[in-house]
Structure 1
Amino acid sequence: MNGQIDWAELFFSAEGRAARTPSLVAAAILIAVAALYEAIVGPTLHWLTGWLAYPALFYCGACVLSKRLHDRGRSGWWAAAILFATLAVWPHPNGFFNFLFVLVLIWAAVELGVLAGEPGTNRYGPNPLRPVAAAA
């Protein structure tokens, strides 16, 4: 991302790293879009249009999560566990297994929303907060 936020890349590519603030903004946008979609569509068309809306939202969510996980030095495949836990507890958790999924979501919130990314370059790319200096 080289110091600039490329929103299309953030939402549609799982390669590279993303800093905490753009990732949190992107997550808030995806949650707002999902809530707006559910409020507008309602239960009557939800079963029909959900086949298009939810895969797109989950793809974008997986890309954002993968980039943030890469910034923390973790594999992007952890995004699958986070998205599965989100699906398991939506719209509200109940039961013992959902308690375990909530623990996964709490871990994800701390790992991705509170802790800073790895300083310097890691195996997923350069630090998004420190742009690479152009050769003079």
Structure 2
Amino acid sequence: MDFKQLYLSIDGRIGRSTFWLKFALPIIIISIILNIIAGVMAGTDPNNPNPAGFAIVGIWNLLLIYPSICVYAKRWHDRDKSAWWILIGLIPFIGAIWTLIECGFLKGTDGSNRFGEDPVPTA
């Protein structure tokens, strides 16, 4: 699956390995680095912090909205569920745990489903 299909399209399915290796882990690593940079840029003076670093983190988070929707939609599709299940993430605490378990740890449906072919065919 190419970059455009993975991050900019809601169609299709992706497996857990694609989700973790091409989406979740890179985003986690980049976010940690950006937060460290933001903290360093903020300085040590609590009365006069530099907001530029936090603006960078905010822009990064805004840029992630659409690609995140696309990737999570494909993971929900792999579980043979509608992309509307993304909305469960809006429920505090429970939604995040549910999404992590369903999209991050549970295997997708074997074979074809209503959203396409199995992204990780078994031999």
How high is the TM-score relative to the length of structure 1? Answer: 0.68
| Alignment partners' CA distance in 1, 2:95 and 2:56 | 29
The 3-state SS of whatever aligns with 1:119 is coil
- 1:122 pairs with one of 113, 117, 121: 113
Q: Structure 1 residues 27-36 or 65-74, which shifts more?
A: 27-36
1:11 aligns with 2:7: yes
| Alignment partners' CA distance in 1, 2:100 and 2:60 | 24
How many residue pairs end up in the alignment? 111
The 3-state SS of whatever aligns with 2:99 is helix
- 1:24 pairs with one of 14, 20, 24: 20
Q: Structure 1 residues 23-32 or 51-60, which shifts more?
A: 51-60
RMSD over equivalenced CA pairs, Å = 2.2
Aligned pairs for 1:1-136 (under 5 A) are: 5-25=1-21, 26-42=23-39, 43=42, 44-46=51-53, 48-82=55-89, 84-85=90-91, 101-130=92-121
Letter in 1 for 2:2: D
Contact 1:27 1:61 in 2 (8 A): no
Q: 1:55/1:81 Cα in 2 relative to 1: closer, same or farther (>3 Å)?
A: farther
What are structure 2's unaligned runs of at least 5 residues? 43-50
Letter in 2 for 1:113: G
Letter in 1 for 2:86: A
Q: 1:114/1:51 Cα in 2 relative to 1: closer, same or farther (>3 Å)?
A: closer
The 3-state SS of whatever aligns with 1:15 is coil
Give CA-to-partner distance per residue, 1:15-46, whole Å, 9 cap, x none: 11001111122112112222222222345214
Letter in 2 for 1:34: S
